[in-house]
Structure 1
């Protein structure tokens, strides 16, 4: 479904991604884990058209997408939930969800998808007229995911969905991520909570200093001594 081949990204003179190659099959949950500054968020931004490649190639369902702008990539079926949620704070919950559907023309189906989002996130239904900036952190995360789902993505990119949230809310968010996947959406998850991410994923990539250091079955990585020492202990 998605394939990154020898992707290089620079920030000025900083070589942020170094020949990154990643493959994601339809229906999978794949996680990308690593320390702060390792290149996780940059990888997602490269996929969604928010960062330009210096070299390499990104293909989605066989189509080269790294020369497309972010709006065109959303139309193809990739949605990005950015780190820090980035909801439109001075707009209502409903207006935020409407913004998620801005690339769509199928108005009847859009109404059905509002209902799907509200069934997934009942708290958003209760607060649909409330300003997004007044929601709790967990509710804003739910809104950010709901807004992304309104574009009807085939692939959703989730950047640090557990950041700054209470453990009970983190469990709820990860349960929702599994639900999203089980209903047909492929997931690429960037997450500092490596234990939660590996237990939620089918496969995993570990990125370090802009390079893929390891890849494989996520559950096996949980038991790998090198992974445990670097990412799971303490």
Structure 2
């Protein structure tokens, strides 16, 4: 479905991604784990058209998206839920969800998707007229994911969905991620909580200093001694 081939990204003189190769098959949950500054968020920004490549290629269903702008990448079926939520704090919950559907013209189907989001996140229905900035951290994360789903993505990019959340809310968010995937959306998950990410994913990539250090079955990685020592202990 999605493939990154020999992707290189620079921030000025900093070589952020180094000949990165990643493949994602339709229907999978794939996780990308690594330390702070490893290149995880940069990878998602490159896929969603926010960060330009220096070289290499990104293809969606075999077609290059290297020169496609971010809004058009949303239209192609990729939605990016960024690190830190980035909700519109002075807009209501409902208005935030409407912004997620900005590329769509099928109003009757959009209305159905509001109902789906509220079914997935009942707390958002209770707060639909509330200003988004007054929501709890967990509710804001739910809103960010809901907004991302409003474009009806084939591939959902999730950047650190557990960041700053209480453990009980983290479990809830990961349960919802599994539901989203079961409903037919492919997921690429960037996450520092390696234990939760590997439990939720089918396959995993470990990135270090902009390079893929290890890849394979996510559940097998949970048992790998090197992975345990580097990412699961302490």
TM bucket, shorter chain: over 0.9
1:52 is displaced (CA, Å) by 0.1
Q: Write the distance in 1 (CA, Å) between the matches of 2:105 and 2:215.
A: 39
Matches of residues 4-43 of structure 1 in structure 2 within 5 Å? 4-43=4-43
Q: Write the distance in 2 (CA, Å) between the matches of 1:80 and 1:64.
A: 18
Structure 2 equivalent of residue 105 of structure 1: 105
Structure 2 equivalent of residue 211 of structure 1: 211
**What's the TM-score, normalizing by structure 1?**
1.00
Matches of residues 135-150 of structure 1 in structure 2 within 5 Å? 135-150=135-150
1:58 is displaced (CA, Å) by 0.2
Worse-superposed segment, 58-67 or 187-196: 58-67
Pairwise CA RMSD: 0.3
Query: Which stretches of structure 1, 4 residues or longer, exceed 6 Å deviation after superposition?
Result: none
In structure 1, runs of 5+ residues without a counterpart are: none
Q: Write the distance in 2 (CA, Å) between the matches of 1:7 and 1:31.
A: 18
Q: Write the distance in 2 (CA, Å) between the matches of 1:125 and 1:65.
A: 35
1:63 is displaced (CA, Å) by 1.2
**What's the TM-score, normalizing by structure 2?**
1.00
Q: Write the distance in 1 (CA, Å) between the matches of 2:66 and 2:43.
A: 12
Q: Write the distance in 2 (CA, Å) between the matches of 1:122 and 1:71.
A: 29
1:66 is displaced (CA, Å) by 1.4
1:62 is displaced (CA, Å) by 1.2
Give a deviation string over 1:74-110, Cα, whole Å, max 9, x none: 0000000000000000000000000000000100100
Give a deviation string over 1:14-48, Cα, whole Å, max 9, x none: 00000000000000000000000000000000000
